Chain A
Amino acid sequence: MGRESLLEVRNLKTYFYTEDGVIPSVDGVSFTIKKGETVAVVGESGSGKSVTSLSIMGLLDAAGKIESGTIIFEGNDITKLSKKDRRKLRGNEMAMIFQEPLTSLNPLFTVGNQISEAIKIHQKVDKKEAKKRSIEILKKVGIARAEKVYHSYPHLLSGGMRQRVMIAIALSCNPKLLIADEPTTALDVTIQAQILQLMKELIKDKQTSILFITHDLGVVAEMADQVIVMYAGQVVEYTDVFTLFKEAAHPYTKSLLASTPKIHEQTEKLQVIEGTVPNPNAMPSGCRFHTRCPYVMEKCMNNEPVLTNIHTRHQVKCWLYEEEG
């Protein structure tokens, strides 16, 4: 696994300044994505997984601010870049696809218009060449009638087709990093299978690195090389996909796996994680999971554990493993 690293996130903290005070959405997140690798971020709503990806893309809204930490992309800290340089990076080097393709496509422009726009801006080619490349890329994402779709408006396409168009736009400039934020959550399951298949083929072809944000453990098992489990703005477990599903160590990860209904096994009773995800305004002291943890100890309530290696390439943020580390 001596591949070069493409993206290194170090101790990222993204806070939102709202009327109700400062909300630490992402609180000290670190991870690395190597070239050609797919890293999945799993977590429930409010875990900070989407904010992590928006911080990397530089797409935080006015209230959100990167407090501290570094995001190193190909050797440069991109948090230090000017807005203009950041924009150059977006689209060219890194691209993003979102959950809801209908709201991320402009309804007033044709599909072709939107793909060739990206190509014209970033690759500095003329209109004709941009159109040619757009149609090529539409074909590549499995759209059979590419010429026809090129001239259609987004509302005429089905959900699956729209997501293919989004992928086409994202890949139009051959980015090195693709951030996919719940790209299949809004799709039907047979269409999801098609899109996941398509993404796998593209990764193989181009060696694109992917940061895959999802809440679906099935999708993680299908797509990921490395997995980051997030809870309440922090990484609680970080390891490769096989280790995670075989020897999950953090109580949260374990319960998450046990509470997922599985279609390939008989389940009598699902294990339950009691309670709900804590409100970011009122984070529990100590370990943030202690209010819901079945193995909670005295120590957990007041002292925050640190993310430690329990094996090579297996990091866990839990007091249960502190001695062994």
Chain B
Amino acid sequence: MTVILSVRGLKKYFDVTEGWWKKEKQYLKAVDHISFDVNHGETLGIVGESGCGKSTTGNLIMQLLEKTEGEIIFQGVDLSTLSKQQLRKKRAEMQMIFQDPFSSLNPRMKVFDIIAEPLLTHLNLSSEKLKEEVLSLMDQVGLDRSYIHRYPHEFSGGQRQRIGIARAIALQPKLIICDEPVSALDVSIQSQILNLMSKLQKELRLTFIFIAHGLPAVKYISDKIAVMYLGKIVELTTKEKLFSKPLHPYTEGLLSAVPLPDPMLRNKKDGVILEGDIPSPTNIPSGCRFHPRCPHAQEKCKNEEPTFIAHEEEHYVACHFPLKEGVGVLEK
């Protein structure tokens, strides 16, 4: 398998210094030195709670935000070395699907215009060819052809998300970043969209980065999963390993916090309930940033930041004392 995207030491600090006279700058460390690879044709899930930097990571890869430091290498090219024009061309190969299908579609554009826009920008098609292309995209995502002249407000959330997907796949991209694509949808609609996405992935050999806070959806669609906490990746491995034997105490806590749809398991879960709130990314705890909430925290964790290393093959973790008997939820 070939690596399609490599992220190395990526950082994004937002300057949040208040007042004119303060000498010391204050930063919100949204993404704080993360590295990972994504292979062609696979799905990397990025999970974490609010403020962990998962959406910022997506926006940085898409070049919608300027990074503070680090490298984003897409198909062997460091994106920051490209000129504006070159980047524009490259962008055709990476697309994004957003969370809120209500605000990510222009209410004044018809379905045809929304889906045709990327084609018009990047390709030079005759008007018949363009219409043909748009119709075939609508077929692919399961939108009825008769909807072509309708406006977004006439559609339900699930159908709007289909329009967003059609727009994203229009230029036959290699990589699609999906930022919470199903979070705003009803359960029965979520499964429709998830199935559509995995169908398209197979047909078009797409690579996905699937960003979400909902573990069940991430687990369904991903091959590998990165768990983020306060701007750092704390654990990265295949979904089987992550869900059956987590190494990081945060991952374990996150897994045990998800209510399982089976009342028989109600009191049998031996996981831990994490205490406390998620700290603010402007005021990150010293040492391991998870230590104030960690049930296994020791002296070392307060002072020394753990490095992100391979604990075993394909299983990376940033923890001084990785769990020996991590409690997962998946029975083998």
Contact = CB atoms under 8 A, between A and B. Distances in A.
Interface of A: 44-45, 158-161, 188-194, 196-197, 215-222, 224, 241-242, 245, 255-257, 259-267, 269-274, 276-277
Contact of B273 (A197, A222, A272): A197
A191 B253 CA distance: 11
Question: What are the 5 tightest A-B residue pairs by CB atom distance, in nearest-first order?
Answer: A218-B259, A259-B191, A193-B257, A188-B49, A261-B216
A192 B257 contact: yes
Given A194-B275, A263-B255, A267-B220, A276 B261 contact: no
A202 B274 CA distance: 19
Interface string B46-70: 0001100000000000000000000
Interface stretch (B7-15, B101-109, B124-132, B262-270): B262-270
5 contacts: A190-B274, A242-B264, A261-B190, A273-B191, A277-B156
Interface in B128-171: 156, 158-159
A260 B265 CA distance: 17
Given A190-B254, A242-B264, A262-B260, A270 B195 contact: yes
B242 to A, nearest CB: 10
Contacts of A221: 259-263, 265-266
Given A190-B274, A197-B273, A245 B195 contact: no
A1 to B, nearest CB: 16
A217 B278 contact: no
A172 to B, nearest CB: 23
A251 to B, nearest CB: 12
A276 B193 CA distance: 12
A261 B220 contact: yes
Contacts of B156: 276-277
Contacts of A188: 49-50, 213, 278
Bin chain B's interface residue count.
35 or more
B258 interface: yes
Contacts of A160: 277
A270 B191 contact: yes
Contacts, number: 136
B277 A191 contact: yes
A244 B262 CA distance: 10
Nearest to A271: B191
B254 A217 contact: no
A242 B263 contact: yes
Contact of A260 (B187, B213, B275): B187
Contact of A216 (B215, B219, B259): B259
B208 to A, nearest CB: 15
A255 B190 CA distance: 13
B261 A245 contact: yes
B330 A263 contact: yes
A262 B261 contact: yes
Contacts of B215: 189, 263
B235 to A, nearest CB: 15
Contacts of B253: 190
B187 A256 contact: yes
B259 A270 contact: no
B188 interface: yes
Interface string B74-116: 0000000000000000000000000000000000000000000
B329 interface: yes
Given A216-B259, A218-B261, A221-B262, A189 B49 contact: yes
A193 B187 CA distance: 20
A53 to B, nearest CB: 18
Contacts of B297: none
B277 A256 contact: no
A215 B156 CA distance: 18
A247 to B, nearest CB: 12
Interface in B274-296: 274-275, 277-278
A222 B266 contact: yes
B262 A261 contact: no
B187 A44 contact: yes
A272 B219 contact: no
Contacts of B194: 261, 270
